[in-house]
Amino acid sequence: MSAVENMRKMPRQSRARDTVEVVLEAAAQVLEMSGEAGFNTNAVAERAGVSIGALYRYIPDKAAILRALALRETEAHRDAVLAVVEGERGEVAKDRAIIRAFVGAFAGRTRARRIAVSALLARADHAELAERFAAAEAGLTDAQGRTLTRVQAFVLSRAVHGAMRAAVMEGVDFLESQAFEDELVRLSRAYLSAL
């Protein structure tokens, strides 16, 4: 599923892109405050401070807003993972930094995250979503710095991602906890040490 499917008209000018960004941020806020029951295009437009016409100029309906919001966060997460894989030094180990980037997605808005991700997955081309992370997976290494094979990278990423996705979709109260992050790191390191 491409971003184009979510947009009625692709914004070209900086002001139009800013409007779409404001709409998506407002959508995340409405979802977090009011949940799915309080989420509609009028509430989003009001929160964004734009007319309903301006909203509809770019995004056709509330389902498209949800998918666009989830894709925006997916892109931000992918960029964070790529930065870690490509060697940007951080204060924590690479595996922990990658997991932390996912756990911290949606800026801690767990309610908005669950609703938007659910909407995205309902109509997603899962192969296309996976392709967004292909470059990051290609850069995964074991503890000795050896690049993982394609199969190893797939198994490791899907094992960790599956636990994270389940935590999001099930709305667990420990999603952003240090304990959950630690267990995901333990899972990935146990797999890597067994290679």
80-104, pLDDT tens digit by residue?
A: 888 887 876 678 888 898 899 888 8
Q: What ranges do the domains of the chain cover? A: 3-194
Query: How would you label 74-95 residue by residue, b for 16+ Cβ within 10 Å and e otherwise?
Result: beebbebbbebbeeeeeeeebb
> How confident is the model at residue 151, as a pLDDT?
94
Q: What is the pLDDT averaged over residues 60-65?
A: 92
> How confident is the model at residue 6, as a pLDDT?
56
> How confident is the model at residue 89, as a pLDDT?
65
Q: What is the pLDDT averaged over residues 60-83?
A: 89
108-157, pLDDT tens digit by residue?
A: 888 999 999 899 888 888 888 888 878 778 888 888 888 999 999 999 99
- Alpha-carbon distance values, 71 to 61, 96, 114, 154, 156 (Å): 15, 23, 13, 21, 23
> How confident is the model at residue 1, as a pLDDT?
41
> How confident is the model at residue 142, as a pLDDT?
84
The overall average pLDDT reported for the chain is 87
> How confident is the model at residue 2, as a pLDDT?
43
pLDDT band at 164 (very low <50, low <70, confident <90, very high): very high
Please report the DSSP string for the chain in residue order: --HHHH-SS---SHHHHHHHHHHHHHHHHHHHHHTTTT--HHHHHHHHT--HHHHHHH--SHHHHHHHHHHHHHHHHHHHHHHHHTT---SS-HHHHHHHHHHTGGGG-HHHHHHHHHHHHHH--HHHHHHTTHHHHHT-B-TTSPBPPHHHHHHHHHHHHHHHHHHHHHT-TTTT-HHHHHHHHHHHHHHHHH-
Decide yes or no: CATH 3.90.1150.10 for domain 3-194. Answer: no
> How confident is the model at residue 130, as a pLDDT?
84
6-34, pLDDT tens digit by residue?
A: 555 556 677 878 889 999 999 999 999 99
Give the integer Cα–Cα distance in Å for 33 and 115. 12
Least confident of 36-40, 75-79, 113-117: 75-79
Q: At residue 85, what is the residue type?
A: V
